[in-house]
Structure 1
Amino acid sequence: MLSRQVQHAGLLAPRRRYYAWKITLTAVALAIGWSAFALIGDSWWQLGSAVFLAAVFAQVGFLGHDAGHRQVFATRRANYVLGVLCGNLGIGLSYGWWTGKHNRHHAHPNTEGVDPDVMIGALAFSGTRAQAGRGLQLVLFRYQAYLLVPMLFLEAASLHGASIRALLQQATQPGMSRRANGRHWAWEAGLLAFHLSAYLCAVFLVLSPVRAVLFILVQQGLFGFYLGCSFAPNHKGMPVLDADDKTGFLRRQVLTSRNVRGGPLTDFALGGLNYQIEHHLFPSMPRPSLRRAQPLVAAFCAERGLPYCEATLLGSYAQALRHLNTVGKLTRPGSPVEVPA
């Protein structure tokens, strides 16, 4: 069994030294970015710090992702603390909301009506959904392959908005502020509010109004673009399953996921998400162990005749865009519902 091979190789064991360095270096990079922002002052050179902080925010997000899968620490509480520090405080995203959404994705990847990552209002990944669009949504579906890149620049704003809405909805539910996603609601809401207020105050106190707005647009736009470019290769353009599909766990995770080829630089830039197949099969596997697990998983799939999808980074984007374009064409009158193989 694959799970025995992975355990025997020690690939599920904690990687404390790796994460100690990773957390330290990421925190230092974040401190450097904001220190540079304070020292540069009201200058157009702040666009440079905006670009740097966009990249650092994404790296903080990757750490929050690892914490959400309990890859970093042995206890749920320690991972939760790291998660809210990275998400709510560090980059302004609700860790509780995101983990709930992300866990649904892992349970049913690329599954119509179940996976929140394929239930995006402005995008359609299947012919059925594309042809169900109406009005403006139908227009967006038709040209989605061309609109995807511009829409990625709005990803951070979308995540911030969803985080705030989720916390506000929890606050209106009886008892939610003290339990469940709501168990630590006060901490999540407080840290998120602190991040947003501190971020906006710092930007508008240091910069003139025009430069402040431009800084936010560049920093948040590139932050969202970076995240979107990291997530897009993973499942976009892979098979979309029906909600009642009975495919088993192994086939479901492998058939709907795509790996991105590359070396250490790719591993760093994509936060380990380039090993999407291994990550979906073993979500709690520490990030640095995914590279070592890859040949074991690939061989296991080959023995069982399971398609194991790998592509270059640019190749994965091309596959995703071709799929979106094919689905978009199905919005034309008289088009078949099925996406051509």
Structure 2
Amino acid sequence: MAHTMPVYNWNDVRKHVTKDDTWIVIDGLVYDVTKWKYKHPGGQKMLMNQAGQDCTDSWMAFHNDKVAVGKYLRPLCVGRLEASENKETELMKDFRELRATVEKMGLFRASPWFFGFVMFHILALEFGGWFIVYYFGTSWLALLAASLLLVTAQAQAGWAQHDYGHHSVFNNSKINKFIHIFLLNFFKGVSSSWWNYRHYLHHAKPNTIKKDPDIRLELFFLTGKVLPVEFGKKKKGFMPYAHQHQYWFLVLPPLLLPLYFHYEVPYYLWSRRNYVEMFWMASFFVRYVVMFKPFLGVAGALTFYLFVRFIESHWFVWTTQMNHIPMDVDYDEDLDWVTSQLKATCNVEQSLFNDWFSGHLNFQIEHHLFPTMPRHNLHKAAPLVKSLCEKHGLDYKCKTLFGAMRDIVGSLKASGELWYEAYHM
């Protein structure tokens, strides 16, 4: 029946890129997702950001059960692309062959032993933090030792929820979702749906202005080479961006988790009337008070919690931003999947410490190319990805842990200088 379908070219497809008329292309077929985007698990903005574009590789990357998801796609198909309009390049062809190779290698199969240990050591660390206070009391030394264990438990739980959020542990999406809610809402006091909304937008269009929420920092920081010049020429913003590499240390690392997230996450849930997740998020604070009220009182328990978040925030910010902030930040150029991910991500050298400290997100390139791949297999895919990059002349960046963190500050300084020049031109 394929030959009886309407045939379109890219000019036709790109006419349908509005909120009320949204088309995308997957594997040569054209889909009208205008109404479906509001039912999409990743949110309607996810599909709006890809309107008028070829989404084949991003669709492959995010969906494990392609047969099941395909059932939702079939009724949305409105035609096919002209054969001459095929945008598949040698790079795209080689990457799709590479994906098939890593699938055959079993790199998308998770190890229950690995993730079982991850969960055990998180719970053990959390219990250890409570036990120190219970056994040794509330001296400053005991509280400091307890806080270090609790910070580590929370940070590692952050990496673990990331695995379940990407459905890279169990084949059953409901089990992944249940554990994701347990780790994020109950164990960390955040929100599963909020995380999904932000994180999938980031993955689909990393470091893309207006499409990646993780780089919406212009209230305090300007990243890349494009935004600083725009803001400088238009005299936008109120911060002294030329000094952003200096006040960075006082703003994002210490304040993101203990201050900003306590505003954004509740606002997100309240605006969407997501009362179920609000309940589970509230249960975290009840849990924390129950754990530490007998020793510190209610106010003391919450103050202790904020101190833990303050320390964890430094760990979280430096580790998550070292792979992206120093990389290219630009508007959507409709690049192929591989090129867009390589321009926006870099790796950090492998070691037992680096793997554990970053939750294997030191393999950020491989994670972005294969977001549902279990993290303990990312290092196995790395040599193949590196070989692909060498063949096609793509820059595969891998840094030391300290070098990657240092580059955050260096890139902020360079962006601030661009803003200063444009502002005073």
- TM-score, normalization: structure 1? 0.87
1:126 aligned residue (217, 224, 228): 224
Cα distance, 1:11–1:334 mapped onto 2, change above 3 Å: closer
- Whose Rg is larger? 2
Segment of structure 1 superposing worse, 91-100 or 7-16: 7-16
Letter of the structure 2 residue corresponding to residue 93 of structure 1: V
Alignment of 1:118-197 (within 5 A): 118-120=215-217, 121-130=219-228, 131-132=230-231, 137-151=237-251, 152-157=253-258, 158-171=260-273, 177=274, 185-186=275-276, 188-197=277-286
More contact order relative to length (CA 8 Å, sep ≥ 6): 1
Q: Which deviates more from structure 2 when the two are superposed, residues 218-227 or residues 192-201?
A: 192-201
The Cα RMSD (Å) is 2.4
Query: In structure 2, what is the equivalent of residue 181 of structure 1?
Result: none
**Which residue identity is paired with 2:187?**
G
CA shift, 1:288, in A, is 0.4
- 1:282 matched residue in structure 2: 370
Letter of the structure 2 residue corresponding to residue 38 of structure 1: Y
Q: Which of 131, 155, 161 is equivalent to 1:58?
A: 155
Helix, strand or coil: the match of 1:230?
helix
Specify the code of the residue in structure 1 equivalent to 2:196. Answer: T
- Whole-Å separation in 1 of the counterparts to 2:143 and 2:236: 37
Query: Deviation of residue 289 (structure 1)?
Result: 0.2
Corresponding residue to 2:420 among 328, 332, 336: 332
Distance 2:138 2:310 in 1: 20
SS at the partner of 1:102? helix
* 1:75 counterpart (172, 194, 215): 172
Q: What is residue 228 of structure 1 aligned with on the other side?
A: 317
Mark the CA change 1:205 to 1:96 in structure 2 (over 3 Å): closer, same or farther: same
Q: Would you tell me which structure has more strand in proportion to its own residues?
A: 2
Q: Which 10-residue stretch deviates more, 22-31 or 194-203?
A: 194-203
CA 211–195 in structure 1, closer or farther in 2 if over 3 Å, else same: closer
Among 105, 111, 116, the alignment partner of 1:9 is: 105
Name the residue aligned to 1:101: 198
The answer to whether the aligner puts 1:299 opposite 2:396 as a matched pair is no
* Contact kept in structure 1, 2:169 and 2:374, CA below 8 Å: yes
SS in structure 2 at match of 1:307: coil
Provide the rounded CA distance (Å) in 2 between the counterparts of 1:135 and 1:49: 47
Alpha carbons of structure 1 residues 324 and 126: separation in structure 2 relative to 1, 3 Å: same
Q: Which amino acid aligns with 2:148?
A: V
Please give the alpha-carbon distance, in whole angstroms, between the structure 2 residues aligned to 1:75 and 1:168: 29
Corresponding position of 1:174: none
- In the aligned structure 1, how far is the partner of 2:238 from the partner of 2:397? 30
SS in 2 for 1:274: coil
The whole-number CA distance in structure 2 between the counterparts of 1:264 and 1:308 is 21
Per-residue CA shift, 1:51-91, capped at 9, x if unaligned? 22111101011110110101111111111111111101011
Equivalent residue number for residue 263 of structure 1:
351
SS in 2 for 1:235: coil
Correspondent of 1:272 among 344, 360, 365: 360
Alpha-carbon distance between aligned partners in 1 of 2:377 and 2:224, rounded to the nearest angstrom:
34
- The aligned counterpart of 1:317 is 405
Equivalent-residue separation in structure 2 for 1:88 and 1:37 (angstroms): 24
Letter matched to residue 111 of structure 2: R
Which ranges of structure 2 fall in alignment gaps of 5 or more residues? 1-96
Q: Secondary structure at the match of 1:139?
A: coil
SS in structure 2 of the partner of residue 36 of structure 1: helix
Q: Which moved more, 1:257-266 or 1:37-46?
A: 37-46
Amino acid at match of 2:409: L
Residues 1:132 and 1:204: Cα distance change in structure 2 (over 3 Å): farther
Q: What CA distance in whole angstroms lies between the structure 2 residues aligned with 1:299 and 1:239?
A: 22
CA-CA distance at 1:100 after TM superposition: 1.0
Is the CA contact (8 Å cut-off) linking 1:55 and 1:226 kept in structure 2?
no
Note closer, same or farther for the CA distance 1:96–1:140 as it changes in structure 2 (3 Å cut): farther
Q: C-alpha displacement at 1:333, in angstroms?
A: 5.5
**CA apart distance, 1:206:** 1.9
Question: Structure 2 length as normaliser, TM-score?
Answer: 0.71
1:104–1:74 CA distance, 2 compared to 1 (3 A)? same
SS of 2:170 mapped into structure 1: coil
Measured after TM superposition, the shift of residue 196 of structure 1 is 1.9
What is the one-letter code of the residue matched to 1:21? Answer: F
- Gap change, CA 1:212 and 1:192, over 3 Å in 2: closer
Contact 1:255 1:308 in 2 (8 A): no
Q: Tell me, which stretches of 5 or more residues in structure 1 are unaligned? A: 172-176, 178-184
**Compared CA separation, residues 210 and 84, structure 1 to 2 (3 A):** closer
Q: Deviation at 1:98?
A: 0.7
AA at the equivalent of 2:402: L
Number of residues paired by the alignment? 323
Match of 1:111 among 205, 208, 211: 208
> Structure 1 CA distance, aligned partners of 2:236 and 2:284?
34
TM-superposed CA distance for 1:2, in Å, is: 1.2
Choose which of 191, 199, 207 in structure 1 pairs with 2:288: 199
Report the identity percentage: 26
